[in-house]
Amino acid sequence: MHLSDLKTGEKAYIVKVKGHGGFRKRIIEMGFIKGQEIEALLSAPLQDPVKYKVMGYEVSLRRQEAEQIEVSYERLRSVDESPMTSTSTPRDQQHASSGVKEITIALVGNPNCGKTSLFNFASGAHEHVGNYSGVTVDAKEGYTHFGGYRIRLVDLPGTYSLSAYSPEELYVRKQLVDDTPDVIINVIDASNIERNLYLTTQLMDMHLRVVCALNMFDELEMRGDKLNVDKLSSLLGMPMVPTSFKTGRGLDLLLSEVIHIFESREGHDEYYRHFHIKHDHEIEDGINNIQKYLKGNELLRLRYSTRWLAIKLLEMDKEVDAILRELPDYDKIIEARDTAVRRIKEETGDDSETAIMDAKYGFIRGALHEAGYVVGVKEDTYKTTHKLDALITNRWVGFPIFFFILYLMFEVTFILGQYPMDWIEMGVDQLGSMIGDMMAEGPLKAMLIDGILGGVGSVIVFLPQILILYTFISVMEDSGYMARAAFIMDKLMHGMGLHGKSFIPLIMGFGCNVPAVMATRTIESRRSRLITMLVLPMMSCSARLPIYIMITGAFFTARYQSLVMISLYVVGIALSVIIARVLSIWVIKGEDTPFVMELPPYRFPTAKAIFRHTWEKGKQYLKKMGGVILVASIIVWALGYFGTMGVAPSLEESFIGLLGKAVEPIFTVQGFDWRLDVSLIAGVGAKEIVASTIGVLYGDSAYNFSQLTAYCFLLYVLIYFPCIATIAAIKQESGSWRWAIFAAIYTTVLAWIVSAAVYQIGSCFLA
């Protein structure tokens, strides 16, 4: 509980003080030390502030301040039994010898530096590890126990900086400021240390408790780099621990440093002290002038480091600007900033943002130099990478390689997947005949065999193929190839009004549209993000595969099956290009922000990671099977079994027949009959249901439509309403129902138009 929850007259014991360093320091100086008894004496008429008694003093705290202090009714084992023996003042003593408590750690770092690997090692969690930015779109939480503490780990999305440039950066910043983790582990890719430390300097500005994990230390050693870690650590005033989360090396040391930082007091030793990066005098003057106005505001000081606010303001940060806009002195603050910005421009020739950045990089270079940093020449991870890249991103062979890999992916998926698919099919059939023999005729048997087995069975057979497809995608992601694919596709993507980065979500869309929509978060420009999201449903997800296989298998000879299948994918891609163009020219206007595309070094993906990722996806698929699809299959079966007069004599007279008949006129242009219409309606929940519904509705009877209709039906399935989950994801990511509804409508209308046109034109030729 928080101190703010304490009622007048109640007593409790302080557990910990949260918030950034400046606030903690002040409050600890006032006597708010772990284990101290505190009593709420009386509150002001409006419940704010409240007067407390601690260590014999009476202090009044604002509600917001009190919220930052955690207390407990239970007395912890005493804090300073012998405070006088300590060299520091007893009131500053924070060492606790008390029982199990919780520490919250946030993992912050650049994309691909190994945060998720660390997270998995520490928490044993099953979380996908990817080799391009954006796999982690949300904060993932896990737990571990260490040194008498229960440690809560939060894996945050990767960011290069904490300016409010991309939604991820904003998100991470918000987590750091609002959720005030106790300690931050800044994960650094040590083989790329200079750039990684930039983020560290921003954490320093924010005055947070930071421990650095110098990850990928194995690569640094392999290359023969020289670095005095202790020296660097003391220069930056934060503990640094060499780690490698390929093997888990350094994890224990890292966690003990975290606990050490948590328990000790800032300035306690040279590895834990607050450090200002000194800027040139004109920048420092600007910071000081702005800070003057901020320091007077207690509420502001409580939540933020004023130096950080001042620096951010000089960097023209919109979010910080919005925070400060509430202040009475806002005009004067902005005046101070503008003066500073002008001076900086005059004296350095740069805008303030660049000047601050330069100073930070200068600081980093200086610190690295002092720590004796020398890049080794032995085994450059980038050497192989450069060689490979020369080939893979080559203008002539890059595309052929890429398309070959895609081709290979689909071939293997279909050919190799056929075997287990046959086995499962046989198993389902046998199960069906077993139940058939055992049970008496009646609705229950019909439901089991025709409803559940017919519906779920016709979809579950695709599990092997889906697993194979996901294995491919995981390998491409984890090895770093996916980032190259984005790189070589960049130009084409620009032609569509998209970014190269849009390509990754688009490819992921072949697996499932839902995570793909979520992956669009990595695209900095809102415009490109929206367009990518909206064209994603054109990417034929694996849920559509069962229908394709089912229909092409029945209507086309083996020679043409693959061709038909590929044509559907191609139509989807072509449509996405056209739609993206249309959207970018007429619907979603605006400027694109430039961006950097990260090309991480190639890494051999670990079998464990690949297995994990693939399994996670498979689990999701099975869950869908047990949930939505099971329910839908039973509903479809029931609607087909019963009619207005009890058990329907034939399908046509059942409820579903009536429903199908009702919408039939809409689809006569395509030649769909009512059974196809019904399965399309049922497929709104999830596209697999189209296949399972056809399975239920046709049963053993033969299909009664032409090849042309069959193809148009496939086109319709490809294009129309993606599925409820995708629409929900679009709503969530775009932040409004508007775009979600837009996506739902445009896809359905387009599907009707395309399938009608193909049918009408096609029948002229075939007639």
Binding site for ligand GDP (CB under 6 A): 109, 111-117, 129-131, 136, 158, 215-216, 218-219, 244-246, 478, 603, 605-606, 609
Residue 622 C-beta: closest distance to ligand GDP, Å: 25
Nearer to Mg ion, 187 or 238 (CB): 187
Nearer to ligand GDP, 28 or 523 (CB): 523
What is the signed CA dihedral for 502, 141, 319, 738, rounded to 10 degrees? 50
Nearer to ligand GDP, 158 or 657 (CB): 158
Whether 659 contacts 646, CB under 8 Å:
no
Nearer to ligand GDP, 196 or 654 (CB): 196
Q: Give me the residue label for tokens 């301040």.
A: 65
Residue 159 C-beta: closest distance to Mg ion, Å: 11
Which run of H or of E encompasses 154?
strand 149-155
Residue 250 C-beta: closest distance to ligand GDP, Å: 9
DSSP code per residue over 668-701:
GGGT--HHHHHHHHHTTS-THHHHHHHHHHHTTS
Residue 500 C-beta: closest distance to Mg ion, Å: 20
Nearer to Mg ion, 127 or 315 (CB): 127
Q: Which does 114 bind (CB under 5 to 8 A by kind): Mg ion, ligand GDP, none?
A: ligand GDP
Nearer to ligand GDP, 34 or 484 (CB): 484
Nearer to ligand GDP, 478 or 524 (CB): 478
Nearer to Mg ion, 153 or 651 (CB): 153
Nearer to ligand GDP, 219 or 257 (CB): 219
Q: Give me the residue label for tokens 């300035």.
A: 267
Per CB under 5 A, residues contacting Mg ion are: 115-116, 136
Nearer to ligand GDP, 218 or 450 (CB): 218
Q: Which does 490 bind (CB under 5 to 8 A by kind): Mg ion, ligand GDP, none?
A: none
Q: Which does 245 bind (CB under 5 to 8 A by kind): Mg ion, ligand GDP, none?
A: ligand GDP
Whether 465 contacts 414, CB under 8 Å:
yes
Nearer to ligand GDP, 222 or 582 (CB): 222
Residue 126 C-beta: closest distance to ligand GDP, Å: 13
Q: Which does 695 bind (CB under 5 to 8 A by kind): ligand GDP, Mg ion, none?
A: none
Selection from 467, 457, 450 nearest residue 423 by Cα: 457
Q: Which does 113 bind (CB under 5 to 8 A by kind): Mg ion, ligand GDP, none?
A: ligand GDP
Residue 616 C-beta: closest distance to ligand GDP, Å: 14
Q: Report whether the peptide linkage leading into residue 157 is cis, meaning its omega lies within 30 degrees of zero.
A: no
DSSP code per residue over 195-227:
HHHHHHHHHHHTT--EEEEEE-HHHHHHHT-B-
Q: Which does 246 bind (CB under 5 to 8 A by kind): ligand GDP, Mg ion, none?
A: ligand GDP
Nearer to Mg ion, 139 or 170 (CB): 139
User: How far apart, in whole angstroms, are the C-alpha atoms of residue 266 and residue 244?
Assistant: 27
Whether 460 contacts 629, CB under 8 Å:
no
User: How far apart, in whole angstroms, are the C-alpha atoms of residue 691 and residue 629?
Assistant: 10
Residue 423 C-beta: closest distance to Mg ion, Å: 36
Whether 185 contacts 170, CB under 8 Å:
no
Nearer to ligand GDP, 321 or 380 (CB): 380
Neighbours of 4 (CB within 10 A): 19
Residue 16 C-beta: closest distance to ligand GDP, Å: 28
Rg (CA), the chain: 31
Cα-to-chain-centroid distance, residue 380: 30
Q: Which does 520 bind (CB under 5 to 8 A by kind): ligand GDP, Mg ion, none?
A: none
User: How far apart, in whole angstroms, are the C-alpha atoms of residue 547 and residue 325?
Assistant: 56
Residue 386 C-beta: closest distance to ligand GDP, Å: 17
Q: Which does 478 bind (CB under 5 to 8 A by kind): ligand GDP, Mg ion, none?
A: ligand GDP
Residue 522 C-beta: closest distance to ligand GDP, Å: 11
Sign of CA dihedral 707, 710, 712, 714: negative
Selection from 337, 197, 219 nearest residue 275 by Cα: 197
Q: Which does 572 bind (CB under 5 to 8 A by kind): Mg ion, ligand GDP, none?
A: none
Residue 130 C-beta: closest distance to ligand GDP, Å: 5
Q: Which does 181 bind (CB under 5 to 8 A by kind): ligand GDP, Mg ion, none?
A: none
Q: Which does 389 bind (CB under 5 to 8 A by kind): Mg ion, ligand GDP, none?
A: none
Neighbours of 434 (CB within 10 A): 10
Q: Three-state secondary structure along 478-545? A: HHCHHHHHHHHHHHHHHHCCCCHHHHHHHHHCCCCHHHHHHHHHHCCCHHHHHHHHHHHHHCCCHHHH
Q: Which does 398 bind (CB under 5 to 8 A by kind): Mg ion, ligand GDP, none?
A: none
Residue 304 C-beta: closest distance to Mg ion, Å: 27
Residue 483 C-beta: closest distance to ligand GDP, Å: 11
SS3 265: coil
Residue 401 C-beta: closest distance to ligand GDP, Å: 21
Q: Which does 522 bind (CB under 5 to 8 A by kind): Mg ion, ligand GDP, none?
A: none
Q: Which does 218 bind (CB under 5 to 8 A by kind): ligand GDP, Mg ion, none?
A: ligand GDP
Nearer to ligand GDP, 117 or 692 (CB): 117
Q: Give me the residue label for tokens 């896809």.
A: 747
Residue 603 C-beta: closest distance to ligand GDP, Å: 5
Q: Which does 606 bind (CB under 5 to 8 A by kind): Mg ion, ligand GDP, none?
A: ligand GDP
First to last CA, the chain: 78
Q: Three-state secondary structure along 110-126? A: CCCCCHHHHHHHHHCCC
Residue 299 C-beta: closest distance to Mg ion, Å: 35
DSSP β-bridge partners for residue 643: 646, 654
Helices and strands: H and E segment counts in the chain: 33, 13
- Nearest-CB residue for Mg ion: 116
| Continuous H helices in 349-397 | 352-370, 381-392
Sign of CA dihedral 221, 226, 228, 233: negative
Selection from 17, 19, 23, 22 nearest residue 3 by Cα: 17
User: How far apart, in whole angstroms, are the C-alpha atoms of residue 78 and residue 74?
Assistant: 11
User: How far apart, in whole angstroms, are the C-alpha atoms of residue 114 and residue 129?
Assistant: 8
Nearer to Mg ion, 34 or 115 (CB): 115
Q: Which does 657 bind (CB under 5 to 8 A by kind): ligand GDP, Mg ion, none?
A: none
SS3 61: strand
Q: Which does 117 bind (CB under 5 to 8 A by kind): Mg ion, ligand GDP, none?
A: ligand GDP
Nearer to Mg ion, 115 or 337 (CB): 115
Q: Give me the residue label for tokens 């750690």.
A: 105
User: How far apart, in whole angstroms, are the C-alpha atoms of residue 661 and residue 674?
Assistant: 5
Residue 147 C-beta: closest distance to ligand GDP, Å: 23
Nearer to ligand GDP, 317 or 478 (CB): 478
